[in-house]
C-alpha cells in the first residue's frame, strides 16, 4: 500500500518529487491544482490526467486524509463538530462554524495540530486527556479539505484557525507546510495560529514571509496565577513571553479565558491592560465554558462581571472582543467530543483554570473600543 503522502511534502518539493514520474511537465501543474485548490484525496479524482498516469501515481504515492468517523448534527447556529480517526487509531477533532456575517456567508474551520497535548493547561479538556503525537501536514490539511468539501464552501469565504487539539508551535515544521498548502486558497491574513506561549515558535512565526495571525493565551495578568493554570509558564515565564511579543512587532490577539472569582475582576483587567501596554494587542475575552471532565469550581462569570472586566479594559485604552460562544450543544470546545467516548490519561487535581476556548474559539464576537 502506498504510504508516501504527497500532502506531507512542502509545495516547493512536489515538482522535484514528481519530475521522474510525470511527463510532460504541465501534468505537474494539473496535479498541483487538484491537490492545493480542489483538495482531492485520490488520484482517480484527477480526471484530466491519463488513466495510466493516475494508476502509476496511486501505486507510488498517497493522498489520504484522516477518516471522519463522527459528525454532530448542526447546532442552532449551524456549527458542527467532526471526530476524525487517524491511521494509527488516534482521534482528533475539528469544528465547522458558519459566521453569518452581514455581508457574506463566511465560515471558520477550527483544526487540530496534535493528537492530544502535552502543555497541560488545567482548564483544557485536551490537556486532560494527555499528550499525543504531532499531526502530519496531510492530517492537518485533510481536516480542512474534508469539511470544505462536505459543506461546499467557497475558499475565499473561509477562515482557518489552528485552535483545536494540541499546541501548534510544538509541531512547527509540519504546521508551516500545512499553512503553505492552505495559503493556495486561503489568504494568510485569514489564518490564525493559537499558542500557549511557546517563545521559540513565536520568534519563528515572525520570520515567515507570509505569517498567519497569532493568538496567544494569556489568561492571567501575573506570573503566579498564570503558572497555576498554565504550567508551561514555568518554562516560558510571562515576562519573557511579553518580551517575545514585543519582538513580534505586529498585531496579535491576547486570548483571556474568564474564570469566575479567579481572573475576572476589574483589578485583573487593569493589570492586564498594564501588562499589554506598548504591544499591538487586541484582547479576546472568553467566558469559561464548563465541561464535566474539568474541576467543578471552574465557573463562567456572571454577565455583570464580564461587563465590568471589559469596561475596565476599554477605559484603559485596550481594544476588546467578547467571545460569543458557538456550538455549546455540540460540545464544540477542545476535546469535548472525544471526551464523551474515551478514558483520559490523567485526572486534574490541582486548583487550575480552564481555557475551553482552545477549540471553542471563533472569530464571531462583539468588539468594544
The candidate with the shortest Cα–Cα distance to 200, out of 182, 173, 221, 225, is 173
Q: What backbone phi and psi angles, to 5 degrees, belong to 258?
A: -90, 120
110-139 per-residue burial string, b: 16 or more CB within 10 A, e: under 16? bbbbbbbbebbbbbbbbbbbebbebbbbbb
Instruction: State the Cα torsion 161-165-168-169 to the nearest 10°.
Output: 140
Q: Which residues are catalytic?
A: 93, 334
Burial class (CB in 10 A: 0-12, 13-18, 19+), 158: buried
CA R_g for the chain? 21
User: Running DSSP on this structure, what letter comes out for residue 134?
Assistant: B
Give me 171's grid cell: 509541531
Note whether 125 and 294 are within 8 A (CB): yes
Work out the number of other CB atoms within 10 angstroms of the CB of residue 255: 23
Partners of residue 281 on adjacent β-strands: 252
Note whether 189 and 225 are within 8 A (CB): no
Most distant pair of Cα atoms in the chain: their distance: 69
Note whether 161 and 362 are within 8 A (CB): yes
In SS3 terms, 111-132 reads as: CCCECCCCCCCCCCHHHHCCCC
Long-range contacts of the stretch 73-77 (C-beta < 8 A, 24+): 73/330, 74/330, 75/326, 75/327, 75/328, 75/329, 75/330, 75/332, 76/329, 77/326, 77/327
Amino acid at each position: 500500500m502506498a504510504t508516501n503522502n504527497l500532502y506531507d511534502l512542502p509545495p516547493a518539493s512536489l515538482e522535484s518529487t514528481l519530475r521522474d514520474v510525470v511527463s510532460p511537465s504541465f501534468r505537474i501543474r494539473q496535479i498541483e491544482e487538484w491537490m492545493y485548490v480542489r483538495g482531492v484525496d485520490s488520484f482517480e479524482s484527477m480526471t484530466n490526467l491519463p488513466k495510466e498516469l493516475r494508476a502509476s501515481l496511486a501505486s507510488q504515492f498517497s493522498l489520504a486524509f484522516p477518516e471522519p468517523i463522527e459528525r454532530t448534527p448542526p447546532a442552532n447556529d449551524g456549527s458542527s463538530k467532526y471526530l476524525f480517526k487517524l491511521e494509527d487509531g488516534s482521534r482528533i477533532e475539528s469544528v465547522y462554524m458558519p459566521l453569518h456575517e452581514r455581508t457574506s456567508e463566511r465560515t471558520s474551520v477550527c483544526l487540530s495540530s496534535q493528537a492530544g497535548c502535552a502543555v497541560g493547561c488545567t482548564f483544557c479538556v485536551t490537556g486532560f486527556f494527555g499528550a499525543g503525537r504531532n499531526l502530519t501536514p496531510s492530517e492537518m490539511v485533510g481536516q480542512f479539505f474534508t469539511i470544505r468539501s462536505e459543506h461546499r464552501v467557497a475558499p475565499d469565504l473561509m477562515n482557518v484557525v489552528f485552535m483545536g487539539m494540541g499546541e501548534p508551535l510544538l509541531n512547527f515544521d509540519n504546521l508551516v507546510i500545512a499553512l503553505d498548502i492552505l495559503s493556495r486558497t486561503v489568504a494568510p491574513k485569514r489564518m490564525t495560529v493559537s499558542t500557549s506561549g511557546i517563545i521559540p515558535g513565536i520568534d519563528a512565526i515572525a520570520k515567515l514571509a507570509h505569517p498567519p495571525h497569532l493568538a496567544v493565551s494569556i489568561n492571567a495578568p501575573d506570573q503566579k496565577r498564570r503558572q497555576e493554570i498554565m504550567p508551561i509558564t514555568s518554562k516560558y515565564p510571562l515576562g519573557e513571553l511579553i518580551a517575545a511579543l514585543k519582538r513580534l512587532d505586529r498585531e496579535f490577539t491576547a486570548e483571556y479565558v474568564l474564570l469566575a472569582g479567579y481572573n475576572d475582576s476589574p483589578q485583573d483587567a487593569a493589570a492586564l491592560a498594564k501588562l499589554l501596554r506598548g504591544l499591538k494587542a487586541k484582547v479576546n475575552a472568553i467566558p469559561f465554558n464548563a465541561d464535566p471532565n474539568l474541576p467543578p469550581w471552574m465557573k463562567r462569570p456572571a454577565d455583570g462581571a464580564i461587563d465590568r472586566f471589559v469596561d475596565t479594559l476599554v477605559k484603559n485604552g485596550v481594544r476588546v472582543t467578547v467571545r460569543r460562544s458557538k456550538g455549546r450543544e455540540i460540545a464544540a470546545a477542545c476535546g469535548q467530543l472525544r471526551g464523551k467516548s474515551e478514558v483520559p490519561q490523567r485526572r486534574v487535581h490541582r486548583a487550575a483554570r480552564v481555557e475551553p476556548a482552545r477549540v471553542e474559539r471563533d472569530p464571531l464576537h462583539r468588539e468594544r473600543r
